Structures are given as C-alpha cells and as structure tokens.
Chains A and B, each alone.
Chain A
Amino acid sequence: MIELSLREVTKRFHRGGEIVCALDRVTLDVPAAQFCVVMGPSGSGKSTLLHLVAGIDAPTSGTVIVDGRDLAAMSDDERTLLRRRRIGFVFQFFNLLPTLSALENAALPLQLDGVRRAEAERRARDLLGDLGLGDRLDHRPHQLSGGQMQRVALARALVGDPALLLADEPTGNLDSRSGEEVLALLRETATVRGHTVLMVTHDERAASVGDRIVHLVDGRVGSDTTTARAAAAR
C-alpha cells in the first residue's frame, strides 16, 4: 500500500525579484511502513518537500497524496486534522512548548483533538515510559537534555498513532550518542510499530538507518537507492 505519493511536484518561490525553483517535477512513492530518507545539500529542497507532505505549504504544481487523500483538494481545517490524526512531526530543534511538562507536551495532539486530559496523559505517559522517560514526566523542556527533548518530541509525534512520521534533521542538534538513540527509536517506529517514516537529513550515518535513500539535487531527484540494510533484510 502506498502511504505517500508525490506526482510531478514543483515548488517555486519569489525571492528578491527572482524565481527560485525549490522542487522541480519531483515524483516519489513511499509505501507503508517504509523508512525513507531524503538527503541533499543545503537548498536542495528537502525541507520544502517535507513541508509539502505535511500540508503546511502548497506546491506550485503537481499532486501530493497522503494517506490516500489529495492535499490540494482539502480545506485548511481538513489538512490540520490530517496532521493531527495521521501525521507525526519531529523537528531538528525539538520545538517543545517551554511552559508544558514532558507529559503535557507529549499529550498535546490528543488534547488538541479533544481527548479528555486524563486519557490523553495516560497514553502519553505509556509512550514516554516506552521511550525511557518514565522518570522525566513532570520535567519542563529546559530541564531535559537534547536527546531527552527529542524523545519527548518523538512521543508527541507518535501519541496519536499516525500513519506517517515526518522527521526534519532529527539528529542535527544532538551529540552523536543521543543522535544514535533517536535514530534507533525511529527505526523501531517503522519496523516494530509499522509507521511510515520520511526523514530529511544531510548526515550520511543517519541516512544509513533508513530503508531507502532519495538524493535531491537542485530540487530534482538525483538518485533513489535501497540501503544495504534494506537489501540485507530482503
């Protein structure tokens, strides 16, 4: 089953009177439960691709289909609900709300969705426990290490049991040990929980945990390869 599909997607920006083409007729299919890594140098269009998939930006042309639905045909509210219920998002800088505890941050999408606070926090607590943060539930972000913050962010992304997990340079702001821990968790997410993962990175080592690596060069797909790990698994 195809979880995510991009058809001839182009994105152009106006910048300083010039038109910059961030993505140029990109076509990409990601099947369910695949861990797909998008790599490329700065400005190659990887973040733009992620934003288009998340529905927080719209393509200039082409079609983006997530969870079987064409994003362009949906209203802003529908796209928001899709993000809330079917997509998890992990950022480079964690983006936790500073005033909320780890537990509250993790429970946020459920609470936004109207799940009762006790129920939302119960589910968040279980998940944080699984991610090794059972003793950090009441800590605020500034009381946590980088790796711990990224795990809270991961819990927030996973708490609604999404079909698709988007990760934007999730190890970019972590030391190598914490980075490896987070990558292992992402890997587990795809393998054990069966979530589809789309991760953007420019770190070769990070990319190696994926099933497939798509290289973007100047907004186009330069190469699309299966990783050794995936080949071995096959």
Chain B
Amino acid sequence: MPYLIHVAIQLLLYVGLAYALDLVLGTTGILNVCHAGFYGIGAYTAAVLCQTYHSPLWFEFAIAGLVAAIAAVLISLPSMRLHDDFFVLASFALQVILSQLMLNWKSVTNGALGISGIPAPILWRHNVLGKTDLLLLTLAIVGCIVWSVRNLQSSPFGRALCAIRADEILAQALGKPTVKYKMAAFVISGSLASAVGVLYAHYMTFIDPSSFDANVSITFITLVILGGAGSRWGPALGAALVVLLPEGLRFIDIPNSVGPNVKQIIFSVCLLLVLIFRPQGLAGHHEFGRFTTE
C-alpha cells in the first residue's frame, strides 16, 4: 500500500508538471527547456521557508510562485521579442543558471548535498502528517492545476495562444498582443511548476540539485510530446508512461547502475519515433511542430 501511494503521488506530481508545461509547449508551441528549473525554485523555496521560518503552506505557494514568475519575466523580457530559437537558448541559459545556483549558493541550498529533513506542510496550524493525507492534498492541488490549465486553454486567451502556435504573424495581424500573451503563458506555466515543486519538497523531505537539472527538463518535454502536446489527455498519458515505465522496468533484471541510462535511451528513441511518425503524440489530435493549415 505505501508503495502504491508513493507511485500515485509521483504520478500526480508529474501530471501537474506536464499540464503546466503543456500550456507553453503544446498550446503556444514554444520550446521551454527550464521547466525543471521552475520546479526546483518551488522545491527550494518551500524547503528554506518551512525549515527556517515554519511558514504555512499557502505562504510557500505564494512566495514560490512569485519567485518563479519573476525569473520567468526576467528571462522572457529579452528573448520573447526575438525568434523562437533565441527563447530556447535563453530558457536553456536560465536552466543552467538555476542549476548552478542550486549547486553553488551553499549558504541557502547546501550545495550538492541538498536539503534534508524538510518538515511536513502546515495547513491551518496543523501539520499534514501521513502519506494518505499528503496524497489527498496533492490530488487537490494538482487537480486545481489541471483544471485551471484546461480552462485557460479553452478561454479566449488560450485560443489566442493556439493562434500564435498556428501562425504568429496572422495572430499579430488580428490584433493579438502576441509577445504579451506568450510571456503570460510562460509566467503562468513557471508558477504552476513551482507549486508542484513545493509539494515535491514536502513529500520527499529531501531535495538536491540533480532532481532539477537540464536532463529533467528534457524528460518533461519528452513526456508531453509522447502523450500529445496540446491535447486534453495527452500530458496525463505521457506522465503515466514516464512514471510507470521505470516501475515496470524494475521487474525486468536490469542492474541499478544502468537503469536510468536504459530509461533515457528508451525515452529518446520513443521521442524520435513519435516526432517522425506520429507528431500528434499518442493521444493528440493536432500535429506538433509541423507547418499546417489550422
């Protein structure tokens, strides 16, 4: 049972992250390589706030979201105006900067050793103890995230984002402030990812920089595209694949030392195959990253 709860929480966290990323990658069609960075901002903010100041959960969400939003604005201000390739590089740069800060800002993040012993989250003066309660809490928060992303996608704002994905110049010609919209999508996505990071820190009670580096960002991109970028159930399906496949691999005899590498190889091959032969993803309807006449 504890094992099932563990898998369930992991799955929920990934689903939340996938939908947050899908707002940028699937709906708007921009490649964002620092999703794990935002996720890390959330986790580290929660860890520091909770350990040092015993702050309540809502306060951690607020501060984590704010920090992530500031980072997102800083990075998108210079790069969103430019061609999308620049934005990819800028987001890559932000990912490296954040990873290096986690490694080197030792007084706050404790460097490569990471922060351990993160206390349980405080909800209305009560500690949320026990894995089942944490599962319910995660379910509620991730449910909110998925619900709000789905709602955003079908709102006028979301339709404008879809228009940007299909043809940015056309969207501009229709009077949509495309740069502002792209920035808004990016900032919202970053804040949501940081909220998931808060949950992750409280659940794992231990965080270190390796959980938030560029490889993790690439995994998130992989899972969204595998499932189907910009589709209703695609991100959830992708998250399920990425969480459940390693659990499945556990039953096959693969030495622990090479397990992550085998996983990465399988994912990269799957990603390439999906990009070439099924660009709409496993559950998707629109072809990701193709010149289409939507």
A and B held together in a complex: no
What is A's interface to B at a CB cutoff of 8 Å? none
What is B's interface to A at a CB cutoff of 8 Å? none
